[in-house]
């Protein structure tokens, strides 16, 4: 089954304790992206990747890191989490053909609480 898999689904952590949220896709997509979703603010892009070793900042990159060493994986790293990073996080992947882009496939989400 074609899918984007995120882990963990739920995570409660303490301020300052480094954490990684994993994301993997099995569709050989070149584009991958991380979003956070907060009430009243909608989906905001954190980082995106156009292909292996190619990443760029989205709208809200502060406090996050990413890497894309393999095409299928795109982990999100919080080096020193703070309470304002409490949110629902989504990983997504997509592809393009020529100048046309295709819809992102989203993971099931990771609900992160930082206390």
Partner 1 sequence: EDQVTQSPEALRLQEGESSSLNCSYTVSGLRGLFWYRQDPGKGPEFLFTLYSAGEEKEKERLKATLTKKESFLHITAPKPEDSATYLCAVQGDYKLSFGAGTTVTVRA
What are the residues binding partner 1 (CB under 8 A)? 4, 33, 35, 40-45, 48, 58, 88, 90, 92, 96, 99-109, 111
How far apart are alpha carbons 18 and 6 in whole angstroms?
17
State in angstroms the smallest separation of the CB of 90 from partner 1: 5
Query: 1 vs 16, which CB is nearer to partner 1?
Result: 1
Nearer to partner 1 among residue 79 and residue 92 (C-beta): 92
Task: Select 12 or 15, whichever has its Cβ closest to partner 1.
Answer: 12
Min CB(96)–partner 1 separation in Å: 8
Question: In angstroms, what is the minimal distance from the CB of 13 to partner 1?
Answer: 19
């Amino acid at each position: 089954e074609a899918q984007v898999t995120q882990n963990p689904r739920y995570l409660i952590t303490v301020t300052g304790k480094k954490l990684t949220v994993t994301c993997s896709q099995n569709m050989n997509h070149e584009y991958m992206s991380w979003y956070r979703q907060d009430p009243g603010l909608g989906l905001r892009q954190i980082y995106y990747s156009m292909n292996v070793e190619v990443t760029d900042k989205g709208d809200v990159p502060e406090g996050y890191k990413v890497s894309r060493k393999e095409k299928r994986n795109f982990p999100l790293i919080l080096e020193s989490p703070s309470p304002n990073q409490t949110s629902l996080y989504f990983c997504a992947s997509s592809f393009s053909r020529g100048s046309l882009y295709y819809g992102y496939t989203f993971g099931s989400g990771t609900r992160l609480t930082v206390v």
